[in-house]
């Protein structure tokens, strides 16, 4: 049973080895001249102001929340896509109702300007 | 081979689950939780449920994790805001230990097996796991499936109302 997943296991192993090798060699070969400026946290080239552990704007949260909800909608499409031919028109109507209800939500989000960055 | 694989995954799952509750930094806990979710996804693969495994990674390790990290960011938990309660740890450990002994005892003692349902392992392998889920969901559980869309709609409206400054 696990034999069919061997390629995935190999990919995971290669990814781990690649990451470890890259980190190890860059720390072994790379020059280490520690100055205060080099050791300061990188903030897009600006001088760091305060700690990174600040409270974030709720705008990010809203986008994340909407992403998750439509992500879950997309999850339901996978088994439907596999059974598409078997279910026929019935399945099409069924999924149509599902998607239309969520499309109402999408229009609501759009009209309320929740996708705008203000 | 499979038992060994299971043992390794279980070890990683337990260690990462302990890390979730023992890390000082909540972001580190969140990352450990991602590891636990990946181990659970591996269990689904071992149970011949690859679709569930994919969903576990996509929805839990991906999307739900984003929510947890955002909650941590919104709450602004300081790293050293935690206090040590040693007597509570002791009490919890004792209760947990006895619960474990009790569970193992009951599991060892009973030989009862649940009746075999219509979906056996061979049938799942033959027809396909995703197809079986879909078949049940789109015929037998048609109403709950459609109600799910209403639930998601409510969640969308709720998120916008709670998080939007100007409606």
The answer for A 19-58 residues in CB contact with B (under 8 A) is: 53-56, 58
Q: Verify whether the Cβ–Cβ distance B146 to A73 is below 8 Å.
A: no
Q: In this predicted model, what pLDDT tens digit does every residue of A36-91 receive, in sequence order?
A: 878 877 777 777 777 766 777 888 888 888 888 998 999 999 999 988 888 889 88
What fold characterizes domain B1-79?
1.20.120
Tens-digit pLDDT profile for residues B73-110: 887 766 555 566 678 888 988 999 999 999 999 888 88
Of the candidates B1, B65, B8, the residue with the CA atom closest to the CA atom of residue B42: B8
Kindly determine whether residue A79 and residue B51, on different chains, have CB atoms separated by under 8 Å: yes
Q: Is residue B84 left, alpha or beta, with left meaning phi > 0 and alpha meaning psi from -120 to 50?
A: beta
Contact of B164 with chain A, judged by CB distance below 8 Å, is answered with: yes
Contact B138 A87 (CB under 8 A): yes
The segments of chain B whose pLDDT lies below 50 read: none
pTM for the predicted model, two decimal places = 0.75
The predicted complex's ipTM stands at 0.73
Contacts of B47 (CB under 8 A, 6+ apart): none
H-helix or E-strand spanning residue B46: helix B26-46
Question: Is there a contact between B79 and A112 if contact means CB atoms under 8 Å apart?
Answer: no
Q: Please, what are the domains in chain A?
A: 2-111 (1.20.58.1610)
């Amino acid at each position: 049973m696990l034999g069919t997943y061997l390629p995935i296991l190999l990919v995971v192993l290669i990814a781990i080895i690649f990451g470890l090798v890259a980190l190890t060699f860059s720390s072994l070969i790379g020059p280490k001249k520690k100055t205060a400026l080099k050791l300061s946290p990188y903030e897009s080239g600006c001088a760091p102001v305060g700690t990174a552990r600040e409270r974030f704007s709720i705008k990010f949260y809203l986008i994340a929340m909407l992403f998750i909800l439509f992500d879950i909608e997309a999850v339901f499409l996978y088994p439907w896509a596999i059974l598409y031919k078997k279910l026929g028109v019935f399945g099409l109507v069924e999924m149509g109702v599902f998607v239309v209800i969520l499309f109402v939500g999408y229009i609501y989000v759009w009209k309320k300007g929740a996708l705008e960055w203000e | 081979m499979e038992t060994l694989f299971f043992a390794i995954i279980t070890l990683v799952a337990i260690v990462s689950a302990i890390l979730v509750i023992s890390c000082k930094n909540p972001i580190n806990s969140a990352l450990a939780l991602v590891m636990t979710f990946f181990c659970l996804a591996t269990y689904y693969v071992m149970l011949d449920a690859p679709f569930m495994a994919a969903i576990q990674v996509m929805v839990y390790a991906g999307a739900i994790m984003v929510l947890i990290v955002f909650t941590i960011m919104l709450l602004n938990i300081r790293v050293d805001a935690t206090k040590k309660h040693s007597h509570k740890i002791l009490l919890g450990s004792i209760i947990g230990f006895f619960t474990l002994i009790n569970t193992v005892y009951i599991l060892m003692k009973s030989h009862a097996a649940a009746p075999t349902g219509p979906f056996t392992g061979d049938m799942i392998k033959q027809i396909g796991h995703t197809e079986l889920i879909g078949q049940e969901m789109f015929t037998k559980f048609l109403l709950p499936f459609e109600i799910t869309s209403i639930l998601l709609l409510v969640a969308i409206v709720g998120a916008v109302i709670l998080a939007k400054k100007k409606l």
